[in-house]
Chain A
Amino acid sequence: MKRIGWLWAAITVALLGYGYYLALYGAPTEATMGDIQRIFYYHVPSAMVGFTCFLVSFLASIAFLAWRRSRPVMAQKADAIALATAEVGVVFCTVVLITGPLWAKPVWGIWWTWDERLTSTLVLWLIYTSYLLLRRFADGSQMQTLAAVLAIFGFLDVPIVYMSNRWWRTQHPAPVIGGGKNSGLDASMWPALLWNMAAWMAWGILIVGYRYAVERRRQKLEQSIALNELDPTLQEGA
């Protein structure tokens, strides 16, 4: 398992390096915006990986609620996945919320506007930040249940964020992927976007895996301490 982890890390570093090269030097300069458009190659993949993380957190939270009585070990694993993906999702969502205004200021002339896409993304970030705060400051099995419910309700905002610039006329640019007629990206810009998507997805999987491993170890230690407090002979016999 460790060997696979190191191999995955090596592939990820290579992908990130190549993605960085394509984003800054490989892709052509956009005709109207100029070099500032290159933020797009980090902004969009970060949003994609963040949303994928929240989707996995949503599914793992459902699994936790379904298994918490019948299959406790699987439920704990699902809970660890939900936490790891939510945490990594918040990191990616933070990148999206910072790189967006850094692009907007030179292009729009403003850092921020309360349009549907930007506002729903900020709400998404706030929901998952409160999820992490709940997990940080509350304790016990009830906390896990409450957190799972919050992750499920929180995910409902992801389709709203995704569809917001399709449903409403927003300041945020029209969708590049699946945006319908007259939308899309110049063919010469696709490699930079796709390689960066692959690279940041690989990075996301790597850190989610690492975070999951840390959380599982914490759960096992906590379980041992609880068992020991209940009956010290249980651990000696184990």
Chain B
Amino acid sequence: MDRQHLHLTLAYIVTWGLQLGYLGWLINKFSAQRKAEQAARVLGVLKKK
């Protein structure tokens, strides 16, 4: 692979990597939020669904 194609490949990997990495972080944050809500419901802080 020459330098041009190496840089092109890296650019596409970085773009997809950052976007999918952010999505992964967001899914993890959503999961943590749901756990916090469940705990709050058990403690009676949050109204049951």
B26 touches A102 (CB 8 A): no
The answer to the question of B5 belonging to the interface, with a C-beta cut-off of 8 Å to chain A, is yes
The answer to the question of B23 belonging to the interface, with a C-beta cut-off of 8 Å to chain A, is yes
The answer to the question of B42 belonging to the interface, with a C-beta cut-off of 8 Å to chain A, is no
A103 touches B47 (CB 8 A): no
B40 touches A214 (CB 8 A): no
Interface size on A (CB < 8 Å)? 35
Interface size on B (CB < 8 Å)? 25
| CB contact under 8 A between A95 and B19, given known A103-B11, A228-B45 | yes
B37 surroundings in chain A (CB, below 8 A): 217, 221
Q: Chain A at the B interface: mostly helix, strand, loop or mixed?
A: helix
Give Cα A214 to B23, complex, Å.
Answer: 12
The answer to the question of A194 belonging to the interface, with a C-beta cut-off of 8 Å to chain B, is no
B26 surroundings in chain A (CB, below 8 A): 207, 210-211, 214
B15 touches A42 (CB 8 A): yes
B15 touches A224 (CB 8 A): no
A91 touches B22 (CB 8 A): yes
Give Cα A48 to B2, complex, Å.
Answer: 30
CB distance from A13 to the nearest CB of B (A): 12
Chain B interface residues toward A at CB < 8 A: 3-5, 7-8, 10-12, 14-15, 18-19, 22-23, 26, 29-30, 33, 36-37, 40, 44-47
Can you list 23 A-B contacts with CB-CB less than 8 angstroms, sorted by A residue number? A38-B8, A39-B7, A39-B11, A46-B15, A88-B22, A91-B18, A91-B19, A91-B22, A95-B15, A98-B11, A99-B15, A102-B14, A103-B11, A105-B7, A207-B19, A207-B26, A221-B37, A221-B40, A221-B46, A235-B44, A235-B45, A235-B46, A236-B44
